[in-house]
Amino acid sequence: MIPPQEASARRREIEDKLKQEEETLSFIRDSLEKSDQLTKNMVSILSSFESRLMKLENSIIPVHKQTENLQRLQENVEKTLSCLDHVISYYHVASDTEKIIREGPTGRLEEYLGSMAKIQKAVEYFQDNSPDSPELNKVKLLFERGKESLESEFRSLMTRHSKVVSPVLILDLISGEDELEVQEEVPLEHLPEGVLQDVIRISRWLVEYGRNQDFMNVYYQIRSSQLDRSIKGLKEHFRKSSSSSGVPYSPAIPNKRKDTPTKKPIKRPGTIRKAQNLLKQYSQHGLDGKKGGSNLIPLEGHEHDFRVKHLSEALNDKHGPLAGRDDTLDVETDAYIHCVSAFVRLAQSEYQLLMDVIPEHHQKKTFDSLIQDALDGLMLEGENIVSAARKAIIRHDFSAVLTVFPILRHLKQTKPEFDQVLQGTAANTKNKLPGLITSMETVGAKALEDFADNIKNDPDKEYNMPKDGTVHELTSNAILFLQQLLDFQETAGAMLASQVLGDTYNIPLDPRETSSAATSYSSEFSKRLLSTYICKVLGNLQLNLLSKSKVYEDPALSAIFLHNNYNYILKALEKSELIQLVAVTQKTAERSYREHIEQQIQTYQRSWLKVTDYIAEKNLPVFQPGVKLRDKERQMIKERFKGFNDGLEELCKIQKAWAIPDMEQRDKIRQAQKNIVRETYGAFLHRYGSVPFTKNPEKYIKYRVEQVGDMIDRLFDTSA
């Protein structure tokens, strides 16, 4: 049971808490009432605001829509005004640009092209929007007039500023430096830079807007004329310079571009020049094989004069194997070779210029047309050379081959560059050079064959035979001609190979040496063909010399003639590369010539038998020493002395007028004959010189042994 005090305290505590709770509850009720009141007030305010907002919206929205409509109307007005201004501007284009178009683009291309752009836009506008408008016709006419002015300006710029390339500059362009040095490219400025830029701009405008390709024809016609005139100018300059001072040469041009690969210098043909140098060496040095570096044998005295005469005739005789080959012809050959090189260089330069001016898809065709005149001129001149060569060969004027050789060699050397330059041109254009090369190879091979036949069939003209038995004109001509082939071995071999002359020379075609695709021959095969050809010429020459030697009534003079010619041929072969070429197909040629020479010496020595036979021991009378000679024996001894003396005097008189130009051979033959005669005469004189066979011994014993030797030493010497 809880004590009353605790219960009372507990009761008071509960009452206090109850009182506090009631107070809290009362506070909450008051708060709720206030909150409800505030809520009612807020709802009332919001309802009022909503009502007012709706009223505002109803009044603002119509104003906004009206304003938006006004703004749209304003924009439409502005656009309309702008369009009107734009359209009106097209109607003013003609009047605004007419003066500029009328005055032309000269000096103000930029402004002129701007005016043409305006006219172009006006034309497009009227075509799209008002095709029946008279303004369309007006701007069209103005556009056409402006386009014609641009075309005229293009032609004017090209005509006024396209200059012929000077021969001096062309020569610098094609001249070569040392192979170890880098050659600097000679710059070619076909058009001034400013003019070139104007030409390019006009070209691009005409292509894009003018829709006219006539200017391309204008371009190639003008540039074609300049190219052709440049090459012709070089040819004329070359002729004048060559006639006055030799090889034309120009000083280096200071402004040169770098990083250009070097190329070999153009080799001038030098064919007739070499012959003239040989002739000069004859006259200056006697061709002693020492001074002047001659490739021929030594000549002296009357033989020297005879050889100079023959060489002169070889160069100038209109009917000889080397006829007609003069300085003028040589200059023409050199000029043509230089013009070929000039064409390649100038055509390359023209293509570089054309790439800037002509649209890409028209470049090849325009370039093809541009080079035709110059190329046709070169080809025509080449065909004229071929035609002249054919006519000359018919006349047996084999100097023609000396013209064809250097040209053909140069054409072949230049062909890769030609092919590169003509890449992309028409097939007819590409085939022109190969056609000319084929023609030259054909006529060259014909000339070689006819020359060989002419050597074989040269008639035996008595008046043309050297009276002293020296080297015949035919021999010197043949050797001189063959020596020219040394400068053109590959060309000559290729000439023969191009005609497939293997059957002619009985040389089988080795598949390893030929290409069925191009019918091209290896250098080894061509070399064998050339060797066989040279051997054929030498064989024909030998046969002809044998025939000619029969013209001489004296077998000894015939032997001297053959000896001189064989010796001349052998020495000429030995002192040049001809012997190496001959040895390719004929290993024993040198030994064969030596045998022929020795054989002729022996034949000559037999001419002295009629002298030595008088005093030969087998023909002498036999008698006992101390026994008086009978009249018959004395008469026989007299006859032997007289026969020897007369024979010696006759032979020395005759043979003194003969010639052996080779000093070594001359001394050898004299010495051998002197030994034989002196030995025989010495024995005879020793045996019968003291025999009393006559009362006048000085009448029969006319010569001492030493005198006989001196007389023989004066053989083959007209100055003695």
First-to-final CA distance of the chain: 197
Q: Among residues 586, 718, 583, which one has the least CA distance to residue 656?
A: 718
Indicate whether 322 pLDDT > 70. no
Indicate whether 535 pLDDT > 70. yes
Question: In which band, very low, low, confident or very high, does the pLDDT at 303 lie, cut at 50, 70 and 90?
Answer: very low
CA angle 521, 525, 531 (to 5 degrees): 135
- The answer to whether the beta carbons of residues 400 and 323 sit under 8 Å apart is no
Burial 397-425 (b: 16+ CB within 10 A, else e): bbbbbbbbbbbbbbbbbbeebbeebbeeb
* Residue given tokens 């020492």 in the structure block: 290
Q: How far apart are CA 332 and CA 178, in angstroms?
A: 26
Distances (CA, A) of 296 to 48, 55, 307: 140, 134, 11
Tell me how crowded residue 323 is: count the other CB atoms within 10 A of its CB. 21
pLDDT on residue 505: 44
Question: What phi, psi does 514 have (nearest 5°)?
Answer: -125, 155
What percent of the chain has a predicted confidence (pLDDT) above 70? 79
**Across-strand partners of 521?**
514
pLDDT on residue 561: 95
pLDDT on residue 616: 82
Task: Lowest mean pLDDT of 506-520, 616-630, 657-671, name the range.
Answer: 506-520
Question: In which band, very low, low, confident or very high, does the pLDDT at 719 lie, cut at 50, 70 and 90?
Answer: low
Per-residue pLDDT reduced to its tens digit, 192-213: 899 999 999 999 998 888 777 7
Task: Lowest mean pLDDT of 76-85, 159-168, 462-471, 485-494, name the range.
Answer: 76-85
Q: How far apart are CA 449 and CA 544, in angstroms?
A: 16
DSSP string, 333-396: HHHHHHHHHHHHHHHHHHHHHHHHHS-HHHHHHHHHHHHHHHHHHHHHHHHHHHHHHHHHHHTT
pLDDT on residue 624: 61
- The answer to whether the beta carbons of residues 119 and 146 sit under 8 Å apart is yes
Q: Which residues contact 115 (CB under 8 A, 6 or more apart)?
A: 96, 97, 100, 101, 146
The SS3 assignment for 550 reads: coil
pLDDT on residue 329: 66
Indicate whether 430 pLDDT > 80. yes
Mean of the pLDDT values across residues 216-220?
Answer: 92
Q: How far apart are CA 607 and CA 556, in angstroms?
A: 6
- The answer to whether the beta carbons of residues 443 and 390 sit under 8 Å apart is yes
Indicate whether 280 pLDDT > 80. no
Indicate whether 628 pLDDT > 80. no
2 or 565, which is more confident: 565
Indicate whether 675 pLDDT > 90. yes
Q: How far apart are CA 655 and CA 716, in angstroms?
A: 6
Amino acid making up residue 118: K
Q: Which residues contact 351 (CB under 8 A, 6 or more apart)?
A: 363, 367, 421
pLDDT on residue 263: 37
Mean of the pLDDT values across residues 129-143?
Answer: 83
Q: How far apart are CA 12 and CA 31, in angstroms?
A: 29
pLDDT on residue 268: 42
Mean of the pLDDT values across residues 296-324?
Answer: 42
Q: How far apart are CA 319 and CA 310, in angstroms?
A: 13
pLDDT on residue 254: 34
* Residue given tokens 């040198």 in the structure block: 590
Residue 620 DSSP label: S
Burial 3-14 (b: 16+ CB within 10 A, else e): eeeeeeeeeeee
Mean of the pLDDT values across residues 165-192?
Answer: 69
Mean of the pLDDT values across residues 375-389?
Answer: 93
Question: In which band, very low, low, confident or very high, does the pLDDT at 397 lie, cut at 50, 70 and 90?
Answer: confident
pLDDT on residue 301: 39
The SS3 assignment for 467 reads: coil
Q: Among residues 504, 676, 544, 501, which one has the least CA distance to residue 605?
A: 676
Task: Lowest mean pLDDT of 214-228, 672-686, 689-703, name the range.
Answer: 689-703
Mean of the pLDDT values across residues 207-233?
Answer: 89
Indicate whether 428 pLDDT > 80. yes
pLDDT on residue 666: 93
Question: In which band, very low, low, confident or very high, does the pLDDT at 312 lie, cut at 50, 70 and 90?
Answer: very low
- The answer to whether the beta carbons of residues 146 and 101 sit under 8 Å apart is yes
**Best-predicted range by mean pLDDT (114-128, 215-229, 302-316, 516-530):** 215-229
**Across-strand partners of 185?**
257
Mean of the pLDDT values across residues 94-110?
Answer: 85
Question: What phi, psi does 297 have (nearest 5°)?
Answer: -90, 160
346 or 506, which is more confident: 346
Indicate whether 259 pLDDT > 70. no
pLDDT on residue 187: 62
pLDDT on residue 718: 64
364 or 319, which is more confident: 364
Q: Among residues 401, 585, 539, which one has the least CA distance to residue 547?
A: 539
**Best-predicted range by mean pLDDT (14-28, 261-275, 459-473):** 14-28
576 or 514, which is more confident: 576
Mean of the pLDDT values across residues 87-98?
Answer: 76
Question: In which band, very low, low, confident or very high, does the pLDDT at 160 lie, cut at 50, 70 and 90?
Answer: very high
Q: What is the mean pLDDT of the chain?
A: 80
Indicate whether 297 pLDDT > 90. no
Task: Lowest mean pLDDT of 514-518, 554-558, 565-569, name the range.
Answer: 514-518
pTM over cut 0.85: no
Question: In which band, very low, low, confident or very high, does the pLDDT at 248 lie, cut at 50, 70 and 90?
Answer: very low
What percent of the chain has a predicted confidence (pLDDT) above 90? 39
The SS3 assignment for 695 reads: coil
Question: In which band, very low, low, confident or very high, does the pLDDT at 485 lie, cut at 50, 70 and 90?
Answer: confident
pLDDT on residue 273: 47
627 or 710, which is more confident: 710
Q: How far apart are CA 255 and CA 65, in angstroms?
A: 78
- The answer to whether the beta carbons of residues 82 and 130 sit under 8 Å apart is no
pLDDT on residue 690: 78
Question: In which band, very low, low, confident or very high, does the pLDDT at 175 lie, cut at 50, 70 and 90?
Answer: confident
Residue 629 DSSP label: P
Handedness of CA 571, 572, 573, 577 (dihedral sign): positive
pLDDT on residue 244: 60
Indicate whether 252 pLDDT > 60. no
Mean of the pLDDT values across residues 66-75?
Answer: 82
**Best-predicted range by mean pLDDT (80-94, 235-249, 483-497, 665-679):** 665-679
Burial of residue 483 (number of CB atoms within 10 Å: 0-12, 13-18, 19+): buried
Amino acid making up residue 350: E
Per-residue pLDDT reduced to its tens digit, 16-25: 889 899 889 9
Tell me how crowded residue 360 is: count the other CB atoms within 10 A of its CB. 7
